[in-house]
Amino acid sequence: MSQTVLSIKNLAASVDGNQILKGVNLEIKAGEVHAIMGRNGSGKSTLSKVITGHPDYEITDGEIIYQGQDLSALEPHERALAGIFLAFQYPLEIPGVSNLDFLRIAYNAKRKHLDLEELDTFDFEDLIQEKLDVVKMNPAFLERSLNEGFSGGEKKRNEILQMAILEPTLSILDEIDSGLDIDALRIVSEGVNFLKNPDNATLVITHYQRLLNYIVPDHIHVMYDGKIVMSGGKELALELEEKGYDFLDEKALAAV
Ligand SMILES: Nc1ncnc2c1ncn2[C@@H]1O[C@H](COP(=O)(O)OP(=O)(O)OP(=O)(O)O)[C@@H](O)[C@H]1O
Ligand SMILES: [Mg+2]
C-alpha cells in the first residue's frame, strides 16, 4: 500500500471574512497525479494557497494532514522545507534577485534542513545545468532577475525548474499550462513526468483537458463553490469538456 501524502478533511477557509472553501475532502497517495478542474472562482487557487500556508487565508474548519502531520502547526517556509511546492498561477517578479541566486538559496535551505552540506556556487552550477535540461531552458535565464520581464510561458517553465531543483514530495501546479505554446506545453509536461516517482505526488490545477493528455492523472476532481463535488478517472476531463459546468448548477439546485 502506498503512503498517503496528503489528506484533507472537511476543509473550510476564508479570506478577509469571505468563506471560500466550504468543506473540501481530498486524499492523495504517493505516486499519484491528481487534477482539479472547475469554473473560475470555484476555489482552486485558494485551496493551493491554504495548503501552502498563505497568511491571508484562515482555516475555519477541518484539517490538512501532510505525511501524517497537521499542517496548521507549520509556517509556510516549514511546509516548503517539508517538501510542499507550489508552482504559482501568477509567478512573482523579484527585481534585483538573480534567478540563479534564488534557486541556490532555496536549494541550500533544503540541504541545511536535511543536515546536508550546502553546495558552493561552482557545485551548484553543475547541478543546475542538469536541471536546465529537464525543462530545456536557456542558461541565460539564470543571470536575469527572478521572473522579471519573463514572458508568461517563460515564467511557467521557470516554476518547473524550481520544482526540478527542490524535488518536492507534493507538487501543486496551478495552471502550469496557461500561456504555454504547444512545444512548451509538451516540454513542461515532460519535465513534470520526468520528476514523478513512486514517493512523490502531484496536484495539477487546470482548465484544459489537453494538459491531461500529457500529464495523465490518476484522479480528476471537480471543484464547485468551494467544494469538490465530483471525482473520476481521466475520462472525466473529456466529459467536462463536452458538457461544461452548467449541469453542476442543476445538481446544486436539486440538492437544496
Ligand atoms: N481577498 C478576497 N476577498 C474576497 N474574495 C476573494 C478574495 N480572494 C479571493 N477571493 C474570491 O475567492 C474565490 C475563489 O478564488 P480562486 O482564486 O481560488 O479561484 P480559482 O478557482 O482558482 O479560479 P480561476 O480558475 O479563475 O483561477 C473567487 O471568487 C475570488 O474572487
Ligand atoms: Mg486559480
- For the whole model, what pTM was predicted? 0.96
Cα 45 to ligand 2 centroid, rounded to whole Å: 4
Place of cell 536541471: 131
For residue 135, the domain's CATH number is: 3.40.50.300
Contacts of 5 by beta carbon, 8 Å cutoff, 6+ apart = 28, 29, 30, 32, 66, 67, 169, 170, 200, 201
φ/ψ of 251, rounded to 5, equals -60, -45
Query: What would the pLDDT profile of 110-140 be if each residue is shown by its tens digit?
Result: 999 999 999 999 999 999 999 999 999 999 9
How many separate domains does the chain show?
Answer: 1
What is the DSSP secondary-structure string of 234-254? THHHHHHHHH-SHHHHHHHHH
The residue whose CA has the least distance to atom 13 of ligand 1 is 41
Residue 148: domain span = 4-255
Residue 253 pLDDT > 90: no
Mean pLDDT for the stretch of residues 132-155: 95
Cα 44 to ligand 1 centroid, rounded to whole Å: 8
Which ligand 1 atom is nearest residue 43's CA? Answer: 18
Tell me the pLDDT band of 254, cut-offs 50, 70 and 90: confident
Query: What would the pLDDT profile of 56-72 be if each residue is shown by its tens digit?
Result: 999 999 999 999 999 99
Ligand nearest to the CA of 42: 1
Cα 41 to ligand 1 centroid, rounded to whole Å: 5
Mutation choice for ligand 1 from 18, 57, 205, CB with most ligand atoms inside 8 A:
18
Mean pLDDT for the stretch of residues 172-198: 95
Joined together, the cell numbers standing for residue 41 give 472562482
Give the three-class secondary structure for 39.
coil
Query: What would the pLDDT profile of 201-246 be if each residue is shown by its tens digit?
Result: 999 999 999 999 999 999 999 999 999 999 999 999 999 999 999 9
Place of cell 484562515: 58
Mean pLDDT for the stretch of residues 164-192: 95
Residue 250 pLDDT > 90: no
Tell me the pLDDT band of 20, cut-offs 50, 70 and 90: very high
Enumerate residues lining ligand 1, CB below 6 A.
Answer: 15-16, 18, 20, 38, 40-46, 89
* The pLDDT value given to residue 1: 63
Counts for the chain of helices (H) and strands (E), in that order: 10, 12
φ/ψ of 230, rounded to 5, equals -160, 140
Tell me the C-alpha distance between 237 and 115, whole Å: 42
| Neighbour order of strands in the sheet with 219-224 | 84-87, 170-174, 201-205, 33-38, 219-224, 227-232
The residue whose CA has the least distance to atom 7 of ligand 1 is 15
Joined together, the cell numbers standing for residue 109 give 535551505
Tell me the pLDDT band of 256, cut-offs 50, 70 and 90: confident
The residue whose CA has the least distance to atom 17 of ligand 1 is 45
Which ligand 1 atom is nearest residue 226's CA? Answer: 14
Contacts of 28 by beta carbon, 8 Å cutoff, 6+ apart = 4, 5, 6, 7, 34, 170, 201, 203
In contact, 4 and 66? CB cutoff 8 Å? no
